[in-house]
Amino acid sequence: MALEFYANARFSGRRYGSYVRGKDVDFSPQAINDLLNLVPLEKCDVRRRRETCESWDDETWDEVKSLLCVEGAQWQGSRRMLLKSDFKPVVKAWASFVVQTLEGTSCSSDIPLVRVHTIAAIMDGGPINVGELIANNIADFAPGNKKVIPHMSLINWLCEEAEWQLRRKQALSLSHISPRLSRSLCREKEAASQVPMHLFIP
C-alpha cells in the first residue's frame, strides 16, 4: 500500500493527501498526531530553529556545533551539514533515531542542516511537533526524486485507518435509514434470493 500511496501522492494536488485503492488518505500533521495519540504542540523548537537560523551569528552556530559534536568538529559546506562521525556518543544515538523514525534521508553519514536542527532541539529538550516533522518528511519524498521511501509502516497504518473511517461512515449512514425503508430493502433482498436459478443460466 505504501508504494501506491507515494505514487498517487505525486498527483494528488495536496501537500498532505494521497489516494490508495480509491480511498482518500490524510497524512497531515494532525492526522499523524491523532494516529500516534500525541497532543500537537503549538510551538515547535525544530520549526523555530529552521525559520530563524538565517539570522544567527557565529556564536550561535558554534553553540549548536558544541552541543552536538566532539571537539575539533567542523561544519561541512558552509554550515550545510555535520558529519555523524563527529557527533558525541549520545547524539549519534539520537541522530540514528531521527533518520530512522522521524525524518528519513537517503544518507545517514552526512547530517544535513534540517536534521541538525531536529537533533539539536532534542538535545536541548525543546518542544517538538512529531506529526509535523513526519508529515513534512513524507511530503518531501512524495515527488519520487529521492532514493529511499521512508515511513512505510506508518503509511500502511494510515491507509488502514482510512479504510476503517470509510467503513465507519458507511455504518453511520446505514444507521439513519428509516425502519420503513429498511423493511423495504429486506423484502427486495428476500425476493431477489427467491428468483429461480435457471433465470441466471444463459
Domain encompassing residue 32: 1-40+130-191
With respect to residue 88, please indicate whether it lies within any of the assigned structural domains. Answer: yes
User: Looking at the structure, do residues 156 and 176 belong to the same domain, yes or no?
Assistant: yes
With respect to residue 202, please indicate whether it lies within any of the assigned structural domains. Answer: no
pLDDT at residue 73 in the model:
94
The total of structural domains in the chain comes to: 2
Helix (H) or strand (E) holding 77: none
Residue 198 has pLDDT above 50, yes or no: no
Domain stop point among 95, 112, 128? 128
With respect to residue 197, please indicate whether it lies within any of the assigned structural domains. Answer: no
With respect to residue 57, please indicate whether it lies within any of the assigned structural domains. Answer: yes
pLDDT at residue 132 in the model:
95
- pLDDT category of residue 176 using cuts at 50, 70 and 90: low
Question: Which whole-number Å values give the CA distances from 57 to 64, 70, 79, 87, 187, in the listed order?
Answer: 11, 21, 12, 22, 78
User: Looking at the structure, do residues 70 and 124 belong to the same domain, yes or no?
Assistant: yes
- pLDDT category of residue 94 using cuts at 50, 70 and 90: very high
- State the average pLDDT for the chain: 83
User: Looking at the structure, do residues 88 and 187 belong to the same domain, yes or no?
Assistant: no
- pLDDT category of residue 195 using cuts at 50, 70 and 90: very low
Q: What is the Cα 137 distance to its own chain's centre?
A: 7
pLDDT at residue 202 in the model:
37
- Rounded CA separation 103/150 (Å): 8
With respect to residue 198, please indicate whether it lies within any of the assigned structural domains. Answer: no
